[in-house]
């Protein structure tokens, strides 16, 4: 028999009460964040945001969301590919975060001993006040480029991209506001190409550059990546015998081994640890740790507002 609305509402209230209690009691919080968290923060890759900045590409090629387009334009001439990717990177990395979801999450953990591991690449944690030495971005960063064929001097290096992205956007006809808002001037036609001289080449090996996003075995794990990985491992070691809350937010099943499965394993191994899962439609825990799990199904921003 299906539970009625009141049953579900009461269950969520109880789970929220437990989560508040565990946050208060925890010696430390390990926060694991996936794409669902940024979706709750307003990073929608289709619909209005897509139509505003990519309607020309949609009309020409027929794809209907930024994510699909990112793969499609890899087959285009580099002048067109970088016109697309400069828009993609700018609105998802340098423009203001659409809402306060990350701010609310920071307020929740800022006074705790915390560490963040995330598969997100939009840099929202650091932009919202989280300590960069308590962050591990496992899958890259929209704000970085790397060589498309890293070797020699470029083998372990990434390169900041804000300046070159800005030049690409201005060359297409966009304007950029004081808060990095990407502006389409009234009456101006936006170009789908950048000048050939703006195509980025690696300064260390001369190869064409690409985004520092994990997609194949050429992904560059630079010095900062390895330092963050070590800080994360050290954090887990230092808190091995303490009361730790493993708080997972918006993690799906695309790359479950990085956060979700690891959290389940760690909680199973540590009798004083608690697992919490905030997710829209996928809030659950395995039987082995269900008695030490808090699963809240709903919009993450709404959950954080209630907390």
Mean pLDDT score, 203-210: 98
Q: Is the pTM of this model over 0.75?
A: yes
CA–CA separation, 214 and 146 (whole Å): 11
166 pLDDT above the threshold of 50? yes
The CA-CA-CA angle for residues 135, 136, 140, to 5°, reads 125
3 pLDDT above the threshold of 60? no
Q: Residue 235 has which token pair?
A: 């954090």
What pLDDT, in 10s, does the model give residues 75-106? Answer: 999 999 999 999 999 999 999 999 999 999 99
Going by DSSP bridges, is the β-strand pair 135-137/114-118 parallel, antiparallel, or unpaired?
parallel
129 pLDDT above the threshold of 60? yes
Mean pLDDT score, 31-53: 97
Residues 6+ apart with CB under 8 A from 290: none
Q: Residue 134 has which token pair?
A: 């308590």
pLDDT at residue 91 in the model: 98
How many helices (H) and strands (E) the chain has is answered by 11, 11
Read off the pLDDT band of 5 (50, 70, 90).
very low
2 pLDDT above the threshold of 50? no
CA–CA separation, 276 and 13 (whole Å): 14
Residues 6+ apart with CB under 8 A from 289: 264, 267, 268, 275
| Average pLDDT along the chain | 95
Contact 247, 293 (CB under 8 A): no
Percent of the chain with pLDDT over 90: 94
pLDDT at residue 1 in the model: 39
Residue ranges and CATH numbers for the domains of the chain are 21-41+99-139+223-306 (3.40.50.1220)
pLDDT at residue 254 in the model: 85
CA–CA separation, 76 and 70 (whole Å): 11
Burial class (CB in 10 A: 0-12, 13-18, 19+), 184: middle
CA–CA separation, 100 and 128 (whole Å): 9
pLDDT at residue 7 in the model: 61
pLDDT at residue 200 in the model: 98
H/E/C letters for each residue in 133-175? Answer: HHEEECCEEEEEEEECCCCHHHCCCCEECHHHHHHHHHHHCCE
DSSP percent split of the chain into helix, strand, coil, nearest 5: 45, 20, 35
State whether the Cα torsion 146-148-150-154 is positive or negative: negative
298 pLDDT above the threshold of 70? yes
pLDDT at residue 10 in the model: 86
């Amino acid at each position: 028999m299906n539970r009625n609305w009141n049953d579900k509402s009461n269950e969520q209230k109880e789970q929220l009460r437990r989560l508040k209690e565990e946050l208060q009691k925890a010696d430390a919080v390990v926060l694991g964040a996936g794409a669902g968290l940024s979706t709750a923060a307003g990073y929608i890759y289709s619909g209005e945001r897509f139509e505003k900045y990519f309607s020309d590409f949609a009309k020409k090629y027929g794809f209907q969301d930024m994510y699909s387009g990112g793969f499609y334009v890899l087959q285009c001439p580099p002048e067109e590919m970088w016109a697309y990717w400069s828009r993609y990177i700018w609105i998802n990395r340098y423009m203001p975060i659409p809402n306060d979801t990350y701010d609310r999450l920071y307020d929740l953990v800022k006074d705790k001993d915390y560490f963040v591991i995330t598969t997100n690449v939009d840099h929202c944690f650091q932009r919202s006040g989280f300590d960069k030495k308590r962050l591990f971005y496992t899958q890259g960063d929209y704000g970085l480029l790397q060589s498309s064929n890293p070797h020699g001097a470029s083998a372990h290096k990434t390169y900041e991209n804000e300046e070159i992205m800005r030049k690409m956007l201005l060359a297409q006809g966009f304007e950029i506001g004081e808060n990095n808002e990407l502006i389409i001037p009234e009456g101006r036609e936006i170009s789908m190409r950048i000048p050939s001289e703006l195509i980025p080449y690696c300064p260390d090996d001369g190869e064409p550059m690409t985004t520092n996003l994990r997609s194949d075995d050429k992904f560059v794990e630079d010095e900062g990546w390895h330092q963050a990985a070590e800080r994360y491992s050290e954090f887990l070691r230092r808190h091995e015998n303490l009361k730790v809350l493993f708080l997972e937010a918006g993690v799906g099943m695309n790359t479950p081994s990085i956060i979700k499965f690891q959290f389940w394993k760690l909680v199973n191994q540590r009798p004083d640890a608690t697992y919490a899962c905030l997710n829209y439609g996928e809030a659950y825990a395995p039987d082995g740790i269900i008695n030490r799990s808090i699963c809240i199904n709903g919009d993450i921003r709404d959950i954080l507002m209630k907390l």
